[in-house]
Amino acid sequence: MNSITLGPLTSANGEIQIPGSKSLSNRILLLATLAKGTTKITNLLDSDDIRHMLNALKEMGVRFSLEDQGQTCVLEGNGGPLSVNQADLFLGNAGTAMRPLTAALCLGQGEFRLHGEPRMHERPIGDLVDSLQALGADIEYQKETNYPPLLIKANGLNGGEVSIKGNISSQFLTALLMSAPLAKSDLRINVDGELVSKPYIDITLHAMKQFGVNVENLDYQAFVIKGNQTYQSPGEIMVEGDASSASYFLAAAAIAGGKIKVHGVGTESVQGDVKFAEVLEKMGAKITYGPTWVAAEKGELNGIDMDMNHIPDAAMTIATTALFAEGPTTIRNIYNWRVKETDRLYAMATELKKLGANVVEGDDYITVEPCSDLQHVAIDTYNDHRIAMCFSLIAFSNTAVTINDPECTSKTFPTYFSLFESISG
């Protein structure tokens, strides 16, 4: 297995352009496919999760061309559901491909198998399948109930009224929302209980609007969508930078000293993870914003006790930043860290403890105490890109850090370590 050793480093400086958003890239690819007309997508993310979506679309007969090292995609829309009637689709560990495609494939006709990496087969999808079945879909679990692989025998989705659970992943609701305009009649979706990761629903609604579909949002408790619609291509669409990917660079400046300006996300962003900068600011970092950029500078960092359910991905960056603050930090309401690329609550706690920190791993929270005497250890990354990226920040302590399997960042950020090295000194 490869590893990379970083630091010890003392400063983080510079300006960077952050690659395109994973969440927006995969949403836009799917909506462009369902839409009428040709869409030119710019600043598309070039990473594993997007490649899984593109490969699946190709298998499904979608015509597109990639230029500019995969960052520009010109895609011919179907003006309706996908038209191939048989496919076996491998979706890696990309939640933003697996969940939305499960719903979208039900819209057409035919037989489709959806599967992924072993971890994908441990990530739940039952709440989405239950709702799709209630709308007339025929979906079978090929191994374990509630988990991929799935076999879909598609024959369109009915409208009417359906409920969906939102307490494990917002991606289930996102998947239903994106497919709803192509259902046979109007649909009302009722959210059953708590809705986690709510800002991702705003990303979904925003993307749908760019493709000409409005959703009536009844305070995130219910959504009403007209059936039998056709998405319309906006012609050209640019993917904004990835706000979760920006978090590591902003944290680096907040910890290390120096100033980092990240271009591609800012006050105009639709991604909830831009709010990561507000958390850093609350901890004591100096943050400034423009419409399409955010900058961070070091401040005296204090620990924080906060519900971070709204920024589940960027919250992981706070867990390692916490080591450099005064006083403990508690990140709350993050149970679903356990059902992502790995059990992130266990993995973060285990690796932070290896460094010598005092950590409490709760069922749905983590408390991290600062530590001024971290040990040089090799961090296991559990095939989780965010573990690799979060722990790179340890290089700004008094010790070096070794990151095992750094290539796992290819899920969302293949160029991470070269950009990291370009800003750190």
* Shortest Å, Cβ 173 to ligand S3P: 8
Query: Rounded distance, CA 48 to CA 202, Å?
Result: 24
d(CA 258, CA 264): 20
Q: Are 148 and 115 in contact (CB under 8 A)?
A: yes
Q: Give which of 362, 359, 262, 353 is closest to 314, Cα–Cα.
A: 262
Q: How far is CA 367 from the centre of its chain?
A: 23
The partner in contact with residue 196, picked from ligand S3P, ligand PEP, none with C-beta cut-offs of 5 to 8 angstroms by kind, is ligand S3P
What are the C-alpha distances in Å from 165 to residues 14, 141, 191, 222? 43, 19, 6, 11
**CB of residue 51 to ligand PEP, shortest distance in Å:** 13
Write the interaction track for ligand S3P spanning residues 239-278; mark x where CB under 6 A is met and - where it is not.
Answer: ----------------------------------------
Neighbours of 186 (CB within 10 A): 16
Query: How far apart are the C-alpha atoms of 222 and 180, rounded to whole Å?
Result: 13
Query: What token pair was written down for 415?
Result: 């160029």
Give residues with Cβ within 8 angstroms of 1, minimum separation 6.
404, 405
- Residue 336 binds which entry of ligand PEP, ligand S3P, none, with Cβ cut-offs from 5 to 8 Å by kind? ligand S3P
Distance between terminal CA atoms of the chain?
Answer: 26
The angle subtended at Cα 138 by Cα 133 and Cα 140, nearest 5°, is 100
Residue 96 interacts with ligand PEP (CB under 6 A): yes or no: yes
Can 313 be counted among the known catalytic residues?
yes
Q: Is 313 a residue that touches ligand PEP (CB under 6 A)?
A: yes
Binding-site residue numbers for 3-phosphoshikimate are 22-23, 27, 169-171, 197, 313, 336, 340
Locate 266 and state its tokens: 């800012």
Shortest distance, CB of residue 315 to ligand PEP, whole angstroms? Answer: 10
Residue 275 CB, shortest distance to ligand PEP, in Å, is 16
- Contact pick of 197, 330, 381, 409 for ligand S3P (by CB under 6 A): 197
> Residue number with the shortest CB distance to ligand PEP?
95
The answer to whether residue 96 forms part of the interface with ligand S3P (CB under 6 A) is yes
Instruction: Indicate which single residue of 412, 417, 423, 424 sits in contact with ligand PEP (rule: CB under 6 A).
Output: 412
Q: Considering the rule CB under 6 A, would residue 115 count as an interface residue with ligand PEP? A: no
Q: In this chain, which of 33, 39, 131, 174 binds ligand S3P, going by CB under 6 A? A: 174
The beta-carbon contacts of 360-364 under 8 Å, at least 24 apart in sequence, are 363/335, 364/332, 364/333, 364/334, 364/335
Are 162 and 134 in contact by the 8 Å Cβ rule? The answer is yes
Among ligand PEP, ligand S3P, none, what does residue 200 contact (CB within 5–8 Å per kind)?
Answer: ligand S3P
Q: Where are the alpha helices (DSSP H) in 107-187?
A: 126-134, 171-179
242 vs 297 by CB, closer to ligand S3P: 242
Site string for ligand S3P, 98-137 (x = CB under 6 A): ----------------------------------------
- For 188, the 3-state DSSP assignment is strand
Single out the residue of 46, 117, 127, 313 in contact with ligand S3P (rule: CB under 6 A).
Answer: 313
Residues belonging to the binding site for phosphoenolpyruvate are 22, 95, 123, 171, 344, 386, 411
Kindly name the residue from 313, 380, 384, 405 that is annotated as catalytic.
313
Residue 313, both tokens: 């991905």
CB of 18 to ligand PEP, least distance (A): 14
Residues tagged in the binding site annotation: 22-23, 27, 95, 123, 169-171, 197, 313, 336, 340, 344, 386, 411
With CB under 5 to 8 Å by kind, the binding choice for 174 among ligand PEP, ligand S3P, none is: ligand S3P
CA distances from 403 to 112, 157, 386, 388 (A): 38, 46, 12, 6
- Tally the C-alpha atoms within 13 A of residue 409's C-alpha that lie toward its C-beta: 25
Residue 92 C-beta: closest distance to ligand PEP, Å: 9
> Strand, helix or coil at 259?
strand
99 versus 298: smaller Cβ distance to ligand PEP: 99
**DSSP SS3 for 296:** strand
Q: C-beta of 95: minimal distance to ligand PEP in Å?
A: 3
Phi–psi pair at 42, nearest 5 degrees: -115, 160
Binding residues among 140-169 for ligand S3P as defined by CB under 6 A: 169
Site track for ligand PEP across 328-357, x = CB under 6 A: ------------xx----------------
348 token code pair: 């973060």
Using CB under 6 A, list all residues that contact ligand PEP. 93-96, 313, 340-341, 386, 412
Binding residues (CB under 6 A) for ligand S3P: these are 23, 95-96, 169-171, 174, 196-197, 200, 312-313, 336
Residues designated as active site = 313
